[in-house]
Amino acid sequence: MKQIRLKKVALNMQQMGIEQLIVSDPLSIFYLTDIYLDPGKRLFALLIKSDASATLFLNRLFPIKEQPGLTTLYHSDGDDAVAMLAEHLADSVLGVDKTWPANFLLKLMEKRHALRPVIGSQAVDNARRYKDAEEIGLMRKASALNDAVMAKAISALKDGITERELAGIISNLHVEHGADSAQSQLVCYGVGSCEPHHEPGFAAVSKGDNVLLDIFAPVNRYWCDMTRTVFYKSASKEQLKVYDAVKSANLAGIAAVRPGATMASIDYAARKVIEEAGYGKFFTHRLGHGIGLDVHEPPDCSSVSEAIAEPGMCFSIEPGIYLPDMWGVRIEDLVVVTEDGVEVFNSYTKEPQIIG
């Protein structure tokens, strides 16, 4: 049991006025216990009390090693697992995970009418947004893996290779380098690169194409995520001008990261560069997203975010310019807020590259 993390969650619960919390998200349970499993449709829940006691409810199909500080209660397929859980609850406010299936909650409310359920995920989410030294080390390792995969992916570009073929190569490279699983990658050529979330198709790379590669995978359950844009065989003056604006915006966003800075101000620092270059209306999304056990998690780095950068927060800096029916450029790095500034996890070059 990760006692320091558990105590942070319990403190958050106290501040929220929640005495008991059901955590059902497998990744949040892993965050607190180092136990990961996919229960399917069976009940899998970690009950946390505000005194930092914890009880794990799970099916006998998933035996685990006992842990100090964690009570484990098993049920079988024929048991009423919700009734077992209900016996351990007080008739008061109950925080429930935002991902907990309604069929469990509704059954629980039928058995315990005095329960007052509220969404309590923030107690765990607020703990997870501050990465500890172990987590930061894992995310450094994951991003180093991603840098290596990016280099090999770019070197795999050749005449005739399609977006889908290159996406498949990238997925295989991630697994070969030690990622947990293969993911569906974002590979965009030419006009496809003007769609921020273009799905790889059967288009083959052509001379003069922007090649936008947004690649990501979980490594030891922590996500890496990066984007680079290169040019195949040639690049026009405007392509290079747009690239320079995006690169400058990426660097400006990174330079704005420091403890105490608002996420909105970090977004503005990057967005201002693109606006001054004359492409403001073509930067159509937020600057970045938090990342960790989920590829997208708090904090949000956008113009409307009220979050403040604090040490341990990890998020992406990914400005982009997307010219409709033409092409797009995006450059993405992952960063972590340090005690006195920022650390960039990615080291793969951001200099413009013409490949082939």
Q: pLDDT tens-digit profile of 104-161?
A: 999 999 999 999 999 999 999 999 999 999 999 999 999 999 999 999 999 999 999 9
pLDDT digit string, tens, across residues 162-217: 999 999 999 999 999 999 999 999 999 999 999 999 999 999 999 999 999 999 99
State the pLDDT confidence band at 223, using cuts at 50, 70 and 90.
very high
Q: Which pLDDT score, from 0 to 100, does residue 176 have?
A: 98
Q: What is the dihedral of CA 142, 145, 151, 152, to 10 degrees?
A: -130
User: Confidence band (pLDDT; 50, 70, 90) for 353?
Assistant: very high
User: Full-prediction pTM beyond 0.85?
Assistant: yes
Assigned CATH topology for domain 3-128: Creatine Amidinohydrolase; Chain A, domain 1 (3.40.350)
Q: What burial letters (b/e) apply to 262-300, b meaning 16+ CB within 10 Å?
A: ebbbbbbbbbebbeebebeebbeebbbbbbbbbbebbbb
Residue 227 phi/psi, 5° resolution?
Answer: -135, 140
End-to-end CA, the chain: 52
pLDDT digits (tens, 9 = 90+) for 11-47: 999 999 999 999 999 999 999 999 999 999 999 999 9
**pLDDT bracket for residue 249 (50, 70, 90):** very high
pLDDT at 130 (0 to 100): 98
Write out the residue limits of the CATH 3.40.350.10 domain(s) in the chain.
Answer: 3-128
pLDDT digits (tens, 9 = 90+) for 256-302: 999 999 999 999 999 999 999 999 999 999 999 999 999 999 999 99
Taking residues 91-111, what's their average pLDDT?
97
The DSSP call for residue 71 is: E
DSSP one-letter string for 294-306: SSSEEEEESTT--
Q: Where in the chain is the domain with CATH 3.90.230.10?
A: 133-355
Backbone angles phi, psi at 297, to 5 degrees: -155, 170
Q: What is the pLDDT of residue 354?
A: 99
Place of tokens 């295989």: 172
Average pLDDT over residues 308-318: 99
pLDDT of res. 187? 99
- Hey, how many other C-beta atoms are within 10 angstroms of the C-beta on 110? 10
pLDDT band at 344 (very low <50, low <70, confident <90, very high): very high
CB–CB of 47/21 below 8 Å?
yes
Please give the structure tokens belonging to residue 242: 């747009």
What pLDDT shows up at residue 214? 99
Q: What distance in Å separates the CA atoms of residue 316 and residue 313, rounded to the nearest whole number?
A: 10
Q: What is the DSSP letter of 155?
A: H
Pick the CATH number of 133-355 from 3.90.230.10, 3.40.640.10, 2.130.10.10, 3.30.2310.20: 3.90.230.10
pLDDT at 310: 99
pLDDT of residue 193: 99
What is the reported pLDDT for 22? 99
Is the backbone peptide bond immediately before 259 cis, with ω within 30 degrees of 0? no
